[in-house]
Amino acid sequence: MKSWLTTTDHKRIALLYLGTMTLFFTLGGLLATVIRVELATAASDLVTAETYNRLFTLHGVIMVFFFLIPSIPTFLGNYLLPLMLGAPDLAFPRLNLASWYVFVAGGLLTLTAMIAGGLDTGWTFYTPYSTTFSDSHVVLAVLGVFLAGLSSVFTGINFIVTTHRLRAPGLTWMRLPLFVWSLYATSLILVLATPVLAMTLLLVAIERGLQIGIFDPEVGGSPLLFQHFFWFYSHPAVYIMILPGMGVISELIPCFSRNRPFGYEFVAASSLAIAVFGFLVWGHHMFVAGQSYFASVVFSFLSFAVAVPSGVKVFSWLGTMHRGSVWLTTPMIYALGFVALFTIGGGTGLALAMLAVDVHLHDTYFVVAHFHTIMVGGMLMAYLGGLHFWWPKISGRLYSERWGRIAAYILLIGFLLTFLPQFLLGTQGLPRRTASYPPEYQFLQGLSSAGATILAVGYVLPGIYLLASLVRGRPAGDNPWGATGLEWQTTSPPPPHNFAAPPVVTDDPYDYPRAPQPTAIGAGHV
């Protein structure tokens, strides 16, 4: 136990993050289960309206700040970045361990707030309710999120310095794996945007304690100022969640298409472009908040513009599969699910970027469905796809490919059944965050709750067969997928310092025509 709690090995720290975030994901999922059971009927007959407010608030806070934002960077990024760069570890190993301890401390503070009675402000902490009127444990929760943000900054600094300083000889910028490009862009957002959230949450705690008039209009403050601060971080946070997922998909599709990524340079540049545009569109969350009409028009235009670099990635994935030799393995099914859900979520996001349409859809279930399609559907598809892809490297064992495909299809079906009805509910004007609703909406709400049951099965199954593979799985070998990249040139699992000798890079990062033949790919060729 001491060796794990004092380790500076990036691989062990990644596994510590994996265990911690799995616990938070389980807790957030249980809260979501209670929410969906409550919404299966029109009346508020399971919990009170006040309890419902605390349920969806804690579900949002835990899922966003303690799973979705850190999931791929802190687990897959921590584990794979040094391996992909040919480095023995991250640039600052002790800072890496400190980031996990700070993350755990933030989680414990938030759980303390939940145990003490909960939080009812929504995960956005909107003022002046959070600073003046709420009688829940706001200060504990915002301090927990503050610490989670500090952990993210530590991780971002570590990734940036590692990418600049610890690349293997011959690994030029144009030879970097696309996953590394996505982590680099994400780290820039983490370092530049997270301090704004930290400052804002500290101001909320200060105003709640001292009532000094930062956000409360009764004492000279501005609630809109809080929204500008919060969304200046929280819209880039969308890309903190989705950019690493895009990087994972850009590794999976070339591998299982046995083809080079189409437009590598454009895809790498699009990651940086998304990071830049992410800082320019926060105002599209405030179309009905009272900001100037001119500002809303500008933010609407920029919201459409950010779709361009995202579209570059989608067309790259389609172009890579074109004339490729596609294998429908478990990771590839997750990758295709990501492309489908990301396209649906992106298209509905463009609808919300239209000023007139947003006035009708704002604060309805349409927003809930859009957010979950991108973040929960898309990001979780990428997370599980990456987990299955690199599981043989991490564990040294192969899982059941049959059960992997079954779980992937169940997850996709469950997700569509859960959230497609919510798009319809939103267009019909049903407000979100309400424990009861008119009876005419019960069929679609019941359909959504039934889909959530299927979705839960899709989440539980991978945990069962991945853990079983640790005991019963066949040895994976060093490169079971026949993939390219430095991480596949070392043993599975890798040794403490990753490589027996420092690697030297001389080839293209995706030279699949000369890649070794896969040994773990079964049926499913199309």
Q: What is the pLDDT of residues 318-360, one digit of tens each?
A: 999 998 889 999 999 999 999 999 999 999 999 999 999 999 9
Q: Which residues contact 62 (CB under 8 A, 6 or more apart)?
A: 24, 27, 28, 31, 110
Place of tokens 């909107």: 126
Question: How confident is the model at residue 508, as a pLDDT?
Answer: 85
Model's pTM, two decimal places?
Answer: 0.94
Q: Which amino acid is at 204?
A: V
297 pLDDT band (50/70/90 cuts)?
very high
Go through the domains of the chain in sequence order and give each one's CATH number. 2-496 (1.20.210.10)
CA dist 307 and 389 (Å) reads: 28
Average pLDDT of the residues of the chain: 92
Query: What is the mean predicted confidence (pLDDT) over 253-258?
Result: 95
Q: What is the pLDDT of residue 48?
A: 92
C-alpha dihedral over 340, 341, 346, 349, to 10 degrees? 150
Residue 525 pLDDT more than 80?
Answer: no
Three-state secondary structure of 108-169: HHHHHHHHHCCCCCCCCCCCCHHHHHCCCCHHHHHHHHHHHHHHHHHHHHHHHHHHHHCCCC
C-alpha distance from residue 276 to each of 153, 188, 233, 237, 415 (Å): 18, 9, 13, 12, 30
Percent of the chain past pLDDT 90, that is, above it, reads 81
311 with 342: CB under 8 angstroms? no
Say if residues 483 and 252 touch (Cβ distance below 8 Å).
no
Q: Answer whether residue 521 shows pLDDT above 50.
A: yes
Could you read off the pLDDT of 53-82 as tens digits, one per residue? 999 999 999 999 999 999 999 999 999 999
Classify burial at 228, counting beta carbons within 10 Å of its beta carbon; exposed 0-12, middle 13-18, buried 19 or more: middle
pLDDT at 220 over 90: no
Encoded tokens for 399:
């899982």
Mean pLDDT along residues 107-120: 93
Instruction: Return the closest-CA partner of residue 159 out of 177, 140, 182.
Output: 182
pLDDT band at residue 524 using 50, 70 and 90 as cut-offs: very low
Average pLDDT value for residue range 244-273: 95
Cα–Cα separations (whole angstroms), residue 352 to 279, 294, 326, 346, 448? 18, 17, 35, 10, 22
Q: Please tell me the predicted confidence (pLDDT) of residue 522.
A: 56
Residue 230 has pLDDT above 60, yes or no: yes
Q: Which residues pair with 469 in a beta bridge?
A: none
